Amino acid sequence: MEMKYFQLPPAAEMKRAVYSKDKSYDGIFFVAVKSTNIFCRPACTARKPLEKNMVFYSSARDALFAGYRACKRCKPLELTGTHPDWVKTLLEKIDSSNEKKLRDGELRAMGIQPEKARRYFMKNYGMTFHAYQRSRRLGSAFTQIREGSKIDDAVFSNGYNSHSGFRDAFSKVFGKPPGRSESTDCIVTSLYQSKLGPIIIGATSKGVCLVEFSDRRMLEYQLKTIRKRFNAAIIPGSNKHIVQVKSELDEYFKGNLKNFKTPLVYPGTDFQVNVWNNLKKIPYGKTISYIDLAEKIGLKGASRAVGTANGMNRIAILIPCHRVVNKDGRLGGYGGGLWRKQWLLDLERGHLS
């Protein structure tokens, strides 16, 4: 799954959404106002700006980098924790339908423009809505086969009309025909809407292997890395580890959970794994400097190398690289953005109201 540049809707469409306070565009784009230097959600209840003062961005991060402040009324940095209603309807339809395939005409009948669905899924999943459906169907079939179901059952219960079409699609994704996949693992990925923005979670049958903010620049590289490390295909879906970690993240972001119990799998070089293991030992609400961390693991003077390994961590929050700071107490770096690092530290120190 490759994350690609997200293209904004047409300007006229975004302006209509802002003036009509259309909540269905939440997550599609953000609107900044030049006269106030503030950016908002499309459906913000504040007084609507003049058309000449509006600037549109595909992410809150882009708006922040452009120098705009987050609106205190609609709080664009704090997502609701769920998809917009129309997206939830689509996802529920896919999961409940025997066909597991919705065409453009069916989307329009549901009151959803296909182009809008395409943009949302491209931005949040790195693939079009139709590609998501295809991957979801293959993922469901893959799970059935690994659990011992007959190939016929996997083919027809996931909306395929023929064995040949299923075999071609399956082999293209997993690198082998379905009859030889019983012992093969895959990486299932799911989107988690956190208070700090969308997070991509990935897991194998053994545990969670990826927790990354969806707008992180290294996300595409990290996806390629886990694909290579596990020699496995990446498909949208869920498993027991993803269900567990989402539940734990809910409690973490509420300030109710200090220690995660979800199994983690994070292969890397011996040096990287050593650093990541020691990151897990940093207590909740505490920080350590890069220099002190290097000394703690017996690598005095290797703070720069430790910082590099810290930045290569693929499992944010659960392997708490945000708890490592500079010797003078300044935040240092963070792949998810320093504003997120500060928010996480404030949460763990009990400084958030």
Give per-residue pLDDT as tens, 8-35.
788 888 999 999 988 878 778 899 998 9
% residues pLDDT > 70 (the chain): 78
Question: Per residue in 270-294, pLDDT tens?
Answer: 999 999 999 999 999 999 999 999 9
Note whether 117 and 123 are within 8 A (CB). Answer: no
Residue of 310 and 132 predicted with greater confidence: 310
95's tokens: 């999961």
Question: Per residue in 36-77, pLDDT tens?
Answer: 889 999 989 888 889 999 999 887 767 866 778 888 888 886
Note whether 4 and 122 are within 8 A (CB). Answer: yes
Active-site residue set: 321
Question: Per residue in 151-173, pLDDT tens?
Answer: 444 444 445 444 455 555 555 55
Q: Roughly what angle, to the nearest 10 degrees, separates helices 114-125 and 129-146?
A: 60
351's tokens: 């400084």
Confidence of residue 181 (pLDDT cuts 50, 70, 90): very low
Residue 228 belongs to what H/E stretch?
helix 219-230
DSSP letters spanning 118-132 = HHHHHHHHSS-HHHH
Residue whose structure tokens are 């071609």: 168
Note whether 161 and 167 are within 8 A (CB). Answer: no
Note whether 133 and 94 are within 8 A (CB). Answer: yes
298's tokens: 């017996």
% residues pLDDT > 90 (the chain): 35
Q: What's the N-to-C CA distance of the chain in angstroms?
A: 37
Q: Which residue in 229, 236, 230, 233 sits closest to 214, CA to CA?
A: 236
For 265, how many CA atoms within 13 A lie in the half-sphere containing its CB? 15
Question: How confident is the prediction for the chain on average, in pLDDT?
Answer: 81
In this predicted structure, what is the pLDDT of residue 319? 97
Q: In a 10 Å sphere around its CB, with 0-12 CB exposed, 13-18 middle and 19+ buried, how is residue 279 labelled?
A: buried
Confidence of residue 1 (pLDDT cuts 50, 70, 90): very low
Q: Which residues pair with residue 191 across a beta bridge?
A: 200
Question: Per residue in 97-120, pLDDT tens?
Answer: 555 578 898 899 888 889 888 888
Q: Which residue in 318, 140, 127, 99 sits closest to 238, CA to CA?
A: 140
Question: Per residue in 334-345, pLDDT tens?
Answer: 888 888 899 999
Mean pLDDT of all residues in 170-194: 64
